């Protein structure tokens, strides 16, 4: 249960916190409109074989346990709405991990506590005394989030009727260390000591702590693990379990799964794992040795007293390289030698750029070290705010009054604000002397401000917006809305930052319509306010000003590669693939255009090399390389000693903005986990549970022995089309650079590309054109996973659902899980090869039915 979730939503604060969640972009309203007569579970994006609740918000899977023929899936659930809040435990059961039945709410929040993530066990020996040996109790171990203090502590509840009804223990909490970041207990029976073992997270310390108990009530601390591996975000939802290596019962290793947010391999949320040994007290990860980056030609190492031939703008980088931290900054480490580029001069409020001379690209890779803020470069932004485009101003909030706009509530005051309000971080980016700022008396005030009716007579509506990221689709939005005939047809929100920036709606399809603008602040939690200024009609789209802290590669005046920090003062290796730009002229630009929290960038050791350097994140081990597999935990007491795992199929970068209604979020397909020796190294592998095949309908459509050369064509034909598919494919490498399958192809050029890159030996999923992608800037993109061909072949297993793809490569060591939101008409499946040939040895495509059938 993420502390970020608490700080953004659960604890109202008088000073808005710094966060990096991106805004819902100015685009058609994110949630898919659902007609009143749409049958449940047939909505546009509703998964058919991934569990979703009938309605409302869901996140982390909890309480995974097998008992009396049922797999129990509890999950973080908001019983009252489609956004995060009022955290409770929802409940579903299955006899086969495929067909799920939703049950009534299990553990409910109350005025005292929210019920955060945790686990469940069957107390077979009735060590708690909550049941009998004949009828052993099921015990849930969860994190209590105490709303009055923000403290997180571990509590228990019990059930004696197979998990249908629950009683919270009167002696709760059973562990309380007074921490606000102590959560997500995973408990199991440890037979060697005949005691219960708890694995729990000290989230912001990047540690996992182990406790022991004889009765689930009284706990003794054993040890701690960490920090190790990836530490770019909070550590959450840990899980510890033993597995046989290569199926050998005499070779047992322990796996510690540590979910991290942000700082995952694909950005945002992800599931990291460590392999090692557990002796009953302490977990020790296997030693992976030290890392030595590739050697090459150093282009800039910032060891001189000045920047040499590199040029600066602004004041952020100072007069020359820094020797580490500068005034007011925390300790900076991870740089090489004596100096680095550091844009924290005079704090986060300064901006500027540092640019190399032009050079000819003559190496395959550019390696460098980067740290500082996580504010990525966004396409279409400009470095300096120029004058607004020509057009008709609907409201500039000058003159000390709202004019003929209609106001409700108390958030807007009697007149526009003149800048920053008491208790608020500095507000910037507005024009003139007035703006809408609903931080009046803090985040606790609410209200609306609605324009008079106007006619849409230009192609765009431009506006400046900042403040909270609570979309129209949220239970309590902070949003700018466009109303036509009383209906919201466009929506935008802030980025959890006080700086206003240009955003724009394309309204060309609404020409001649009567419309109104409505500013809504219905949120009283953190970032529960909105800043708005200069709303105008124009035939020209306004260009937002860059708010990046990034290292960019510029070719032909365009940013073609970009990297950013991870909200950390520790620098780490990054790499740009220069091969597509061989012999071209290029520049390196280090840009700090951000004045909010973590509004600075650190850079060092720019080196031209033949091989890419790998960051700590890339060197870590990941259970899944996609964007949408988080809070992954496993079932206890599964039959046959099997280890099944499931994850939340979403990402905190955009979780509240995905276009689904009346539910939000799905769970992944359950996976069977194993340890296999691959390329001389033990890896955690996964495959879809065997029972998923029960959803296969009829016989598969097949193809075999097909050679594809530098083209894209239908895989099989109409028989292979569909929105819910199970695909198995084996390719033999020839000379193609890239090859694979495209799924959910069709309307408006939509496609989700599932490919293999022979030049990098990587599996990849490209969802850039997968359908609706514009609800958040971090959603479109390409996810990659390292995968070596075996005996010249690449094997893929692909699960396609109405709003997701899960791709299992090789023996399951490379897995990519991504949400997609295509048009329902996009149902094609194609095979492709780029720059050469590949042989499709065999492909089989099954249509899958619903888990509710």
Tell me the sheet residues that pair with 561: 553
Contacts of 406 (CB under 8 A, 6+ apart): 449, 450
Active site residue 60: yes
124: helix, coil or strand?
A: coil
Which residues, listed in sequence order, are joined to residue 196 by a DSSP beta bridge? 189, 213
CA distance 173 to 216: 11
Q: What tokens appear for 469 in the block?
A: 């990221």
According to DSSP, the β-strands at 663-664 and 681-688 are unpaired
Select from 668, 618, 608, 7 the least CA-distant residue to 265: 618
**Residues pairing with 842 in the sheet:** 704, 730
- Residue of 60, 239, 522, 818 marked active site: 60
- CA angle 370–371–376, rounded 5-degree value: 85
Instruction: Give dist(CA 322, CA 138) in Å, integer.
Output: 58
Cβ distance 455 to 537 under 8 Å? no
Q: Give the pair of three-digit tokens for residue 693.
A: 């095949």
Burial track 564-599 (b if 16+ CB lie within 10 A, e otherwise): bbbbbbbbbbbbbebeebeeeebbbbbbbbbbbbbb
The stretches of 553-655 forming alpha helices (DSSP H) are: 616-619
* Strand (E) or helix (H) holding 244: strand 234-245
- Closest to 332 in 3D by CA, of 375, 372, 301, 300: 372
Token readout for 148 is 């009055």
DSSP code per residue over 407-438: EEESSS-SS-B-SPPTT-PPP----TT-BEE-
Torsion of CA 807, 812, 814, 820, to 10 degrees: 20
Which stretches within 653-715 are classed as H helix?
A: none
Stretch (H or E) spanning 4? helix 3-5
- Sign of the CA dihedral running 821, 826, 829, 833: negative
Q: What does the alpha-carbon distance between residue 3 and residue 125 come to, in Å, rounded to a whole number?
A: 35
Residue indicated by tokens 């050697």: 295
| Full 3-state SS string of 20-63 | CCCCCCCEECCCCCCCCCCCCCCCCCCCCCCCCCCCEEEEEEEE
CB 634, CB 406: distance < 8 Å? no
Bridge-partner residues for 490, per DSSP? 28, 482
φ and ψ of 646, to 5 deg: -140, 150
Measured between alpha carbons, how far is 450 from 480 in angstroms, rounded to an integer? Answer: 10
CA nearest to 818, candidates 625, 627, 623, 622? 627
Q: Which of 49, 62, 41 is nearest to 98 (CA)?
A: 49
Half-sphere exposure of 135 (CA within 13 A, CB side): 8
Cα 578 to Cα 142, 504, 551, 582, 646, distances in angstroms: 48, 33, 14, 7, 37
The answer to whether the CB of 145 falls within 8 A of the CB of 176 is no
Evaluate whether 281 touches 210 at the Cβ level (below 8 Å): yes
| Block residue for tokens 């020839």 | 734
Peptide linkage before 666 cis (omega within 30 of 0):
no
User: What's the gap between Cα 499 and its chain centre?
Assistant: 23
Reduced to 3 states (helix: H, G, I; strand: E, B; else coil), residue 445 is coil
Q: Which residues are catalytic?
A: 60
């Amino acid at each position: 249960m993420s502390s970020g979730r608490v700080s953004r939503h659960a604890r109202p604060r008088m000073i808005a916190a710094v966060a990096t969640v991106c805004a819902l972009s100015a685009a058609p309203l994110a949630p898919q409109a659902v007609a009143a007569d749409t049958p449940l579970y047939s909505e546009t994006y509703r998964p058919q074989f991934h569990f979703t609740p009938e309605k409302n918000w869901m996140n982390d899977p909890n309480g995974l346990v097998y008992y009396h023929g049922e797999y129990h899936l509890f999950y973080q659930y908001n019983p009252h709405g489609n956004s995060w809040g009022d955290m409770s435990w929802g409940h579903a059961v299955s006899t086969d991990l495929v067909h799920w039945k939703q049950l009534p709410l299990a553990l409910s929040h109350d005025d005292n506590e929210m019920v955060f993530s945790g686990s469940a066990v069957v107390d077979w020996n009735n060590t708690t005394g909550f049941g009998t040996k004949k009828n052993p109790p099921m015990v849930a171990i969860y994190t209590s989030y105490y709303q009055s203090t923000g403290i997180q502590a571990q509590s228990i509840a019990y059930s004696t009727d197979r998990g249908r009804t629950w009683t919270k223990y009167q002696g709760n909490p059973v562990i309380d260390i007074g921490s606000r970041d102590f959560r997500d207990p995973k408990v199991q029976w440890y037979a060697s000591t005949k005691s219960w073992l708890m694995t729990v997270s000290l989230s912001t310390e990047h540690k996992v702590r182990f406790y022991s108990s004889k009765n689930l009530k009284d706990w003794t601390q054993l040890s701690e693990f960490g920090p190790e591996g990836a530490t770019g975000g909070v550590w959450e939802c840990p899980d510890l379990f033993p597995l046989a290596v290569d199926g050998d019962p005499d070779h047992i290793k322990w796996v510690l799964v540590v979910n991290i947010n942000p700082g995952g391999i694909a950005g945002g949320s992800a599931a990291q794992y460590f392999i090692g040994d557990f002796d009953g007290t302490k977990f020790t990860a296997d030693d992976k040795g030290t890392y030595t980056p590739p050697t090459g030609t150093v282009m800039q190492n910032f060891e001189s007293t000045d920047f040499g031939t590199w040029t600066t703008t602004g004041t952020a980088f100072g007069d020359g390289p820094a020797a580490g931290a500068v005034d007011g900054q925390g300790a900076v480490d991870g740089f090489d030698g004596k100096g680095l580029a550091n844009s924290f001069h005079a704090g986060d409020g300064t901006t500027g750029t540092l640019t190399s001379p032009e050079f000819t690209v003559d190496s395959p890779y550019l390696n460098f070290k980067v740290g500082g803020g996580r504010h990525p470069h966004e396409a279409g932004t400009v470095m300096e705010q120029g004058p607004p485009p020509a057009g008709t101003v609907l409201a500039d909030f000058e003159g000390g009054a709202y004019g003929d706009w209609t106001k409700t509530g108390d958030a807007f005051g009697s007149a526009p604000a003149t800048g920053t309000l008491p208790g608020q971080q500095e507000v910037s980016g507005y024009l003139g002397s007035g703006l809408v700022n609903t931080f009046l008396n803090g985040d606790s005030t609410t209200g609306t401000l609605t324009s008079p009716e106007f006619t849409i007579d230009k192609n765009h509506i431009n506006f400046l917006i900042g403040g909270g990221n609570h979309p129209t689709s949220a239970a309590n939005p902070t949003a700018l809305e466009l109303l036509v005939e009383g209906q919201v047809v466009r929506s935008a929100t802030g980025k959890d930052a006080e700086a206003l920036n240009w955003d724009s709606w394309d309204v060309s399809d609404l020409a001649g319509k009567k419309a109104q603008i409505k500013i809504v602040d219905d949120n009283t939690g953190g970032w529960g306010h909105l800043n708005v200024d200069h709303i105008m009609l124009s035939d020209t789209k306004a260009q937002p000003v860059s708010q990046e802290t990034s290292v960019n590669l510029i070719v032909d005046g365009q940013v073609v590669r970009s990297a950013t920090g991870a909200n950390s003062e520790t620098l780490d290796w990054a790499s740009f693939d220069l091969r597509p730009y061989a012999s071209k002229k290029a520049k390196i630009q280090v840009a700090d255009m951000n004045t909010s929290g973590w509004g600075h960038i650190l850079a060092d050791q720019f080196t031209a090399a033949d091989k890419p350097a790998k960051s700590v994140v890339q060197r870590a081990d990941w259970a899944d390389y996609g964007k949408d597999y988080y809070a992954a935990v496993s079932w206890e007491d599964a039959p046959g000693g099997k280890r099944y795992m499931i994850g939340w199929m979403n990402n905190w970068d955009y979780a509240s903005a995905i276009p689904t209604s009346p539910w939000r979020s799905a769970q992944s397909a359950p996976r069977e986990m194993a340890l296999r020796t691959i390329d001389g190294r033990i890896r955690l592998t996964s495959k879809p549970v065997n029972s998923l095949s029960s959803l296969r309908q009829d016989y598969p459509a097949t193809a075999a022995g097909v050679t594809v050369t530098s083209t894209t064509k239908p895989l099989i034909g109409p028989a292979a089309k569909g929105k819910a598919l199970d695909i198995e494919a084996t390719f033999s490498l020839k000379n193609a650079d890239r090859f694979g399958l495209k799924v959910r192809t069709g309307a408006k050029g939509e496609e989700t590309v599932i490919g293999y890159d022979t030049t990098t030996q990587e599996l990849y999923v490209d969802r850039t054109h997968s359908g609706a992608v514009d609800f958040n800037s971090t959603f479109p993109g390409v996810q990659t996973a390292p995968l070596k061909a075996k005996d010249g072949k690449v094997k893929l297993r692909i699960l396609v659902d109405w709003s997701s793809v899960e791709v299992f490569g090789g023996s399951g060591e490379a897995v990519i899980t991504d949400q997609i939101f295509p048009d329902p008409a996009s149902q094609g499946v194609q095979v492709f090869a780029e720059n050469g040939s590949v042989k499709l040895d065999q492909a089989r495509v099954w249509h899958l039915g619903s888990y509710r059938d």
